[in-house]
Structures are given as C-alpha cells and as structure tokens.
Amino acid sequence: MNNYKSGFVTLLGRPNVGKSTLINTLIGEKITITSPVAQTTRNKLRGILTTKTGQIIFVDTPGVHKPHHLLGEILVKNAKSAINGVDIVILVLDSSVEPGRGDEYIRDFLVENEIEFFVVLNKWDLVNKEFKNVRLDQYKKVFGSCKCFQIVSASEGVGCFELIEMILNFLPEGPMLFDEDIICDQPLDNLLSDLVREQVLINTREEVPHSVAVKIENIKEIKKDKGKKLTAILATIIVERTSQKGILIGKKGSMLKTIGQTARSNMKKLINGPVHLELFVKVIPNWRKKESKLMEFGYEIDY
C-alpha cells in the first residue's frame, strides 16, 4: 500500500495518570491492566492499532517513580528503556491535579536526552468547567513548548480520534509490522494473569496490592457437546505473608470468589468464549526480592 505508516509509540508518565486506560481506549479492547492503585502495569506491553492508513504500536510502561526495592527498580528501568528506538514518546499528564514535580522530572529527563515528545493532558472530564482555563494555563506554562499538545479524556474517549490522527501524521512511512487482527504482542498467559491481578488490586486495600503476583499454571480447552468449547484456567495468586493470604481468601472464601468472578468475566471477553477459572493462593516470602521469581511471574528484566 502506498504511503502506509507504521511505528512505535511509548507512553510515559507518573503512575496512575491513565496511560493504560488510554491505550485500551485507543485500541478499543481491554488488553492492559488499569487500576485505581498506582504501579500496576508490569511490562512494556505493546498494544497494536491497525487502521487503513497506518499501524501504531503502543508501548505501555510502568510509571516512572523512585524505586524502593528490586521490583520498583526493574519497573523504572523498563520504563526508561522503552524510550529507546521508538518513533514517538508521549508524556501523559493528569489534569485533575496541578502539574507536579514528578511530571517535571520526566520532562527534564526527556529534554536532557534530547528526546522530542508529545504531551497528552488526560482526565479532562475531571476538571470543573469554570476551572478549565486556569488548569490549561498551568500546564501550558510547564509543557507549552512541546511539539504537540492534546487534551483527552481516556475513559470517555474524548480527544482520542484527534490524538490518533496526530500520531499517524507524525509516523514515518513503513509496512504493516503485525497482522491486522493482532491487538497485543504479549503471550495470553500474561494477559490472563494481569486480569486476575487487576481484580486483586481493585478489591483489596493497602496491605496486599504490591506484594501480589499471579501465575497461570494451566490453560486447557475442553470440548463440550455440539462442538462448543470451554477454556479451563488454573491460576495461583502469590503473596508474601500468611496474613495477606487470609485477606485474599476472605470470610468463607468471599474475597477470592469476588476476584474470581470479575476476572473470569473479563477473561471471557478477551478469549471470546466461556471460561472456567480456578484460583489458589500461595505464600512465597520475599518473592519480590528474588530475580528468579520475578521472571517466573512474568516480569521482564532489561539490562
């Protein structure tokens, strides 16, 4: 095809500004984990949007933040390495709050490394009507000199069409890099375990979230009558302490049931068919400090 465009676009930004939500909206399917709890995106996940005129490969990254332990360090390293070799870097900002030190830290990092970037001001729906001008001024002051500046609301889809046009305009000419029906380059295991992890993060409070990993032990397709298929999935939720295991299981198993039901319903959408999900909880003390465990549970380690 003539003049077809393709390229890689990295989304950077503090945790929780809406990077994963934005990718999901732009692609139109739920492939990346979003959560009200910060720091939930594990790997450099690539979501792929194919249109008639171009193919955009989005690289979702964990938020850039100050590392606290090994897992944190790996998340940050991955975010920084995701900038290398991409065609466009997009800095995503949360307009529901004032520009902060974290945003400036990332801006300075990009400027120091002579990386040009787009700015996307997200969560515009959360800014009061009469306050929108003030908020825009605040952000223009800090980021106004950037190449492109787009206001969006990722959860409502506002401004997303314009953003896609802007990206396609800027991308170099190139071939389709993935088949047009592929929306994500992550293995199914990772997507499935993220759907369980997402529900753990949403349903439990502070005690649990950051010390949870999910491992898909087994995926089996079971043939039923009349050619119908059922996907049976066995997953283990790993925590660091026995007390966390108790919280996850809940009274008479109620918490685990809630987590399982919602995760299963999202899995059904992803797989496009019925799912049977079995969940177990296992304690592995200090798994986050063990590199072998990080790899086993699906964290990519970039050196």
Binding site for Mg ion (CB under 5 A): 19-20, 41
Beta strands in the chain (DSSP E): 5-12, 45-50, 54-60, 88-94, 117-122, 148-151, 213-223, 229-239, 275-283
CA distances from 68 to 81, 299, 301 (A): 19, 16, 16
**Closer Cβ to ligand GDP, 102 or 260, answer by number:** 102
What is the C-alpha radius of gyration for the chain, rounded to an integer number of angstroms? 20
8-state DSSP, 190: H
**What is the nearest approach in angstroms of ligand GDP to the Cβ of residue 85?**
22
Binding partner selected for residue 47 from ligand GDP, Mg ion, none, CB under the kind-specific 5 to 8 Å limit: none
Contact 173/4 with Cβ under 8 angstroms?
yes
**Closer Cβ to ligand GDP, 26 or 57, answer by number:** 26
- The binding site for ligand GDP (CB under 6 A) comprises 13, 15-21, 34-36, 41, 63, 122-123, 125-126, 153-155
**What is the nearest approach in angstroms of Mg ion to the Cβ of residue 15?**
7
**Closer Cβ to ligand GDP, 36 or 172, answer by number:** 36
**Closer Cβ to ligand GDP, 37 or 235, answer by number:** 37
Binding partner selected for residue 153 from Mg ion, ligand GDP, none, CB under the kind-specific 5 to 8 Å limit: ligand GDP
**What is the nearest approach in angstroms of Mg ion to the Cβ of residue 147?**
23
170 exposure class (CB count in 10 Å sphere: 0-12, 13-18, 19+): middle
**What is the nearest approach in angstroms of ligand GDP to the Cβ of residue 190?**
16
CA distances from 251 to 203, 246, 254, 257, 259 (A): 14, 8, 5, 10, 13
What's the rounded Cα separation, in Å, for the pair 106 and 177? 29
**What is the nearest approach in angstroms of ligand GDP to the Cβ of residue 12?**
9
**Closer Cβ to ligand GDP, 220 or 269, answer by number:** 269
**Closer Cβ to ligand GDP, 13 or 99, answer by number:** 13
Binding partner selected for residue 90 from ligand GDP, Mg ion, none, CB under the kind-specific 5 to 8 Å limit: none
Binding partner selected for residue 281 from ligand GDP, Mg ion, none, CB under the kind-specific 5 to 8 Å limit: none
Contact 50/176 with Cβ under 8 angstroms?
yes
What's the rounded Cα separation, in Å, for the pair 187 and 180? 17
